[in-house]
Amino acid sequence: MNFIEDLKWRGALNQVTDEEGLINAMQSGEIGAYVGTDPTADSLHLGHLIPFMVLKRFQNAGGKAVIIIGGGTGAIGDPRPTTERQLLSPEQLHENEKGITEQVTKLFGDANTAIVNNNDWLGKLTLTDFLRDYGKLFSINVMLKKDVVASRLETGISFTEFTYQILQGIDFHELWRRQNVQLQIGGSDQWGNITSGIDLIHSIEGNDAKAFGLTIPLMTDSSGKKFGKSEGNAIWLNPEKTSPYTFYQFWFNQSDEDVVKYLKYFTFLGVDEINALEQESKNNPGGRVAQKRLAQEVTKFVHGEQAVVDAEKLSAALFSGDVADLSAADIADAFGGVPSFDITSEKKNIVDFLVDGEVEKSKRQAREDVTNGAITISGERVTDLNFEIDPTKHYDGKFVLVRRGKKKYFLGTVK
């Protein structure tokens, strides 16, 4: 399959301006494609990974991957459907740019990749240059019809955000001129901005100038929710914001209804292998073979092979209950979301400990669960009512992990 056919099979194509022309351009020689991202945070999240996967496929098909870190556009803010963005300080923008640059470098490597900052050209534009060279080429009537602008006309939109589409068009033309970038890739909500950039290129360079746009469908899960959120929290690509284990678990916990769709979109596995995983999932729906492969592939792409090994080692330890030798970082990572309570580093009788931490409602219940072998402390099953818990014994003296029954965990944190 060619690049477009592959995207169609993977469910990764929404619109393309000139399908045949794009394929011919790719076959005639190396051209570039770009995805832009504004440094509104110090890390990318899974929402950003959606267009980057398509750009990576373009690179794998022989094209050049160009990523714009929007130091210029980020200072203004891409319009939101409802409200104005909060402007960031130059210092914060610079810090965000550094973090995002590191991440995209890891994703795309150095070969056949260019990472640029649009402040290099937008920052040099004077107001008169902007109005004379670009403003005269954009029709207000057309700009008002863009979805993101039209949706804001009743509530109001600033001139700053209104002009964002012009700046994005300038980006496309600059990359067309500097890097032979003929394709812009974006989400479905970017169609209007992308076509504005194509129109700008044609206005300046002539109607024969080759420029294409491609958008990606809105990514939702089987329940219709926007992809990329986990219990309301963003899944970040920065391992310090979302650990590789949590990242791995996000993918491993995908539903049977979604897993094949995500295998197609977020991995580079071929048709035969994905079809085989789909069939295996149907034959053994509880085996989660497809989910495991999905978690392995995406975690390896974003965080590397060792992150997969570490995540699966931690998963195996948690499944078996063999948690005594885990590190404090592992415990904080894996059990950050379980009920927790503060403790001191002093030793305490197990019954008092369980009641004080509200693991048990009463001493009677605590004694019964201990005697019946239902209580495990930091991986050690305790049946002695006189047992004293020593918080300094495991996990660098930072935590005491309590398991009641088979699955109910509580975390005591030394303060």
CATH value at residue 252: 1.10.240.10
Residue 330 in any domain: the answer is no
Residues 280 and 289 sit within 8 Å (Cβ to Cβ): yes
- Residues with Cβ within 8 Å of residue 319, at least 6 apart in sequence: none
Instruction: Give yes or no: residues 297 and 365 share one domain.
Output: no
CATH number at residue 49: 3.40.50.620
Nearest by Cα to 194 from 178, 175, 214: 214
Annotated binding site for L-tyrosine: 34, 164, 168
Same-domain check for residues 211 and 272: no
Cα(216)–Cα(25) distance, integer angstroms: 20
Same domain membership, residue 399 and residue 299 = no
* Domain's final residue, options 256, 287, 320: 320
Q: Letter for the amino acid at 47?
A: G
Q: What is the pLDDT at residue 346?
A: 94
Binding-site entries? 34, 164, 168, 229
The CA R_g of the chain, rounded to the nearest whole Å, is 26
Q: What residue ranges in 95-141 does DSSP mark as E strands?
A: 113-117
**195 lies in the same domain as 113:** yes
In a domain, 158, yes or no: yes
Same-domain check for residues 84 and 195: yes
Cβ within 8 Å of residue 193, ≥6 positions away: 146, 164, 165, 168, 169, 186
Binding-site annotation, residues for ATP: 229
Q: Is residue 151 part of a domain?
A: yes
- Same domain, yes or no, for 195 and 47? yes
**Residue 224, domain member (yes or no):** no
* pLDDT confidence of residue 349: 96
Alpha-carbon separation of residue 223 from 207, 227, 268 (angstroms): 44, 10, 25
Side chain identity, residue 71 = G
Q: Tokens 């203004």 belong to which residue?
A: 76
Residue 360's CATH number: 3.10.290.10
Residues 208 and 89 in one domain: yes
pLDDT of residue 228: 65
Asked, for residue 46, whether it belongs to a domain, the answer is yes
Please check whether residues 148 and 264 belong to one and the same domain: no
Residues 201 and 307 in one domain: no
DSSP three-state, residue 331: helix
> What pLDDT is attached to residue 116?
95
Give the β-pairing of 64-69 and 32-37: parallel
> Smallest Cα–Cα separation from 415: which of 346, 332, 319, 355?
346
**pLDDT tens digits, the chain, 415 residues: what are they?**
899 999 999 999 999 999 999 999 999 888 999 999 989 889 999 989 999 999 999 999 999 999 999 988 888 766 666 677 778 888 998 999 999 999 999 999 888 999 999 999 999 999 999 999 999 999 898 888 877 788 788 888 888 888 888 999 999 999 999 999 999 999 988 888 899 999 999 999 999 999 999 999 988 888 888 876 555 578 999 998 989 999 999 999 999 999 999 999 999 999 999 999 999 999 988 889 999 999 999 999 999 999 999 999 998 888 888 888 889 988 988 887 789 999 999 999 999 999 999 999 999 999 999 999 999 999 999 999 999 999 999 999 999 999 999 889 999 999 9
263, 293, 320 — which closes off a domain?
320
Domain that holds residue 400: 335-414
Residue 237 included in any domain: no
Whole-number pLDDT of residue 320:
81
Query: What pLDDT is attached to residue 205?
Result: 96
Residues 347 and 314 in one domain: no
Clarify whether residues 316 and 377 are in a common domain. Answer: no
Does residue 127 sit within a domain?
Answer: yes
Residues 166 and 22 in one domain: yes
> Which of 290, 320, 350 is the endpoint of a domain?
320
Distance CA 184, CA 22 (A): 11
> Is residue 39, in this structure, part of any structural domain at all?
yes
Q: What is the 3-state secondary structure (H, E, C) of 5-28?
A: HHHHHCCCCCEECCHHHHHHHHHH
Number of domains in the chain: 3
